[in-house]
Structure 1
Amino acid sequence: MARKKGRDISGWLIVDKPAGIGSTDVVGRVRWALDAKKAGHAGTLDPDATGVLAVALGEATKTVPILTEALKAYEFTVIWGAETTTDDASGEVLDRSDARPDAAAIEAALPQFQGDIMQVPPAFSAVKLDGARAYDLAREGERPQLAARPLFVDELTLLATDEGTATLRMVCGKGGYVRSIARDLGRSLGCLGHVAQLRRIWSGPFDVEDAVPFDLIDRANQAELEQRLLPLQAALTDLPELRATDQGAAHILNGNPGQVLGHAQFGEEVWVSHDGRALCLGRYLGGEVQPDRVFNLPLPEGSEA
C-alpha cells in the first residue's frame, strides 16, 4: 500500500490573505510549505477580500466546525450609486442611481440589518440550488433565485463616509455575506451600492494583527513557519476545558466515555485535556465526557505514555 504523502503536523497557521488569491489556494500553499498531510480552513474569503484566513493542519481540522460557528469581524467600504452582478467591484453594473446618502441616513438604516435577520446570498456564491453552485449558474448568464437565510449580526457600525462611499464594520455569525449587506443597504437607502474593499479583521480568537503575511509562506523555511503555528486548542477558547484523569484519558483515547475533573452544564460541548495535550471534543455527562472527536496528538516532551 502506498504511503500517504506529507507530515503529521497539527495546529493553526493564521494567514493575512491578500487580494487576488482564493482561500483554497492559500491552504494549498500552506500545506505545501509545511509538507503537511492534511489541511483545511475555517471560513472562505472571496478572492478580492483580504485578512484573517485560519488554516487548520492535521488534527486541528477536527476543530474547524467550532471556529466556523464563531463570530467574525469585517471592515468594508461600500461604493454608492451602482449595483453589480457580484455585489462587489468585480461584477458588471446592473443598475445605477444618482442618489447619495449622508451619514445620518446611513446611521438610521443600519438597525434593520442588526440582530437576527434574513439575508439573501449573492448570486455569485457557493450556495447550492438544485445541486448546482449559484456561481456556476450565474456565470452561465442565469440569475439564481436564492432563498433568504437566517443570520445573526452582532454589530454594524458606520466608521467613515464621504459623498460617494461609506466604510463600515460588521460582526456577524456563520454564513454572513458582507456583499449582501452592501447590496441591501444600498437598496434600503435608495442609492444602490456594492462592496469596493473587504477585510476580515478577526475570526473567533484569531486577530489579523497576529496573522502571518502571505508572502512569508514562500520566503520562510519550514522551521520558521512551524514557530508561527498555534496549538489545536487555540480555536477552543469559547468552550469549557475539563481535565481527564489518567484512567479517563485512556478511555477517551479509545473513543469511550472517560472521567474528568471540573464541571460544565450537563450535555454541554467541552474539550478535554490531559498532561498538556488536547484529547477530544465531547459532551459533558456529569463526571464523564462522551468524546465526539478524538485528537491523535503526540505526547508532550517529557511525558510518559
Structure 2
Amino acid sequence: MAEVNRVAVLKLLGGLPTKPPWPSGRCIFRVPSTIRRHNEYVYDPQLVSIGPYHHGHERLQHMEKFKRWYLRCLLDRTPNPECNLSRLFEVIKSNAQYCLDCYSEMEEDTIIDIDKFIVMVILDGCFVIELFRKQAGVLPRHPDDPIFTTSYMRKILLSDLMLLENQLPWFVLEVLFDLTSSHQERGNTSIAALALDYFGFNTIRRGSIDPCTIPAVKHLLDLQRNNITYATKSPERAGWNPIPCVTKLLQLGVRLEAGESSEMMDVRFDKGVMRIPPIVILDNAESLIRNLIAYEQCDGTCKDKITSYAVLLNNLIQSGTDLDYLRVSTMTLT
C-alpha cells in the first residue's frame, strides 16, 4: 500500500507546473462566461477575425480573401526595399513566443504549427495596417473595394477591431508598420496616429491623447481605452457609494447640466449641481463599452475607470424618465 501511495504521490508531483498557468505578459483575454452571459453577441466578431481566438470560424472566412489581397497589394507596392514576405516571417518568428504569451488562453493544441500562427499574425497585422492607411488617405482606395464602398462593412469593422478577443499585440502592429512603410511615411506618421484617425470620433467621446506622447499600449482596444481615460485622474480611495437615480436627485433639488470638459469622465458635483460631459451614443456603443469593461476586469494592471463610469450611469438611469432627462440635459444621442 505504501508503495502504491508513493507512486501516486510521485505521479502527482511530476504533473505539478513550475510556472504560473498564465504568462505575466498576457493582455488579450477570452471574455469570461460570467461577463459574456449578459450579451454574448457584443463579444464575437461579425465580419473579420483578428488573432487566434476566432481564427478559422466558417462565417468569417470571406474576409480572409481580403487579407490576402491587401497583403499582395502591399508586397507589390514595395514601399521599403527590406519589405518582403521572408523578412516579415523572420521578424515575427523571432518574437513568436512573446506574441503567444500575450494571449491568456492559448492551450497546447490551439496552434498546431507555429508557422501557421506566424502566417495568421502577418495576414491580420498587415490587413489592419493597410486598412488604416487607406482610411487616412496614405494609400488610394480601390474603386471595387467593398470595405470602403459599402457602409455596413465599415460599420462592422469599427466594432470588430475593438473586441477584446479580436486583438493583436501592439508590438506586432508596430513592427509590421515599420517594416512595410517608407522612410517618408515613418517620418510623417505612426501606427498610433493612423489607428486614432481610423476610429476617429469613437462611439463614446473623442479623446485628447497625443499619439506622439502616447503611453505604453498593449493592443488596439487598450489604445482606445487610453484615448478615453488618459487625462482622467484615478480616485484617491477605493470603494463605491451608490447614488440615487436622476428622478430622485431632481426631487432632492440637485440640478444636472452638461459639463464643459472635453474629458468624458470628468463628472463633477459642486453646490448642488452635477455636471456630466456630453457623450455620443452610436449603434456599436454597447459593444465598445462592454468590451472595455471586460478588459478592465481581466487585466489586473488596469484601473476600473470605464467600469466606474458605467456604474455611475447605471445608478443614474433607472427608468425611461431618467434617460430622457439626461438625453435632453447632458447627452447627445444619435
Choose 1 or 2 for highest CA Rg.
2
Per the normalisation by structure 1, the TM-score is: 0.24
Which one has a larger percent helix, Structure 1 or Structure 2?
2
TM-score (norm 2): 0.23
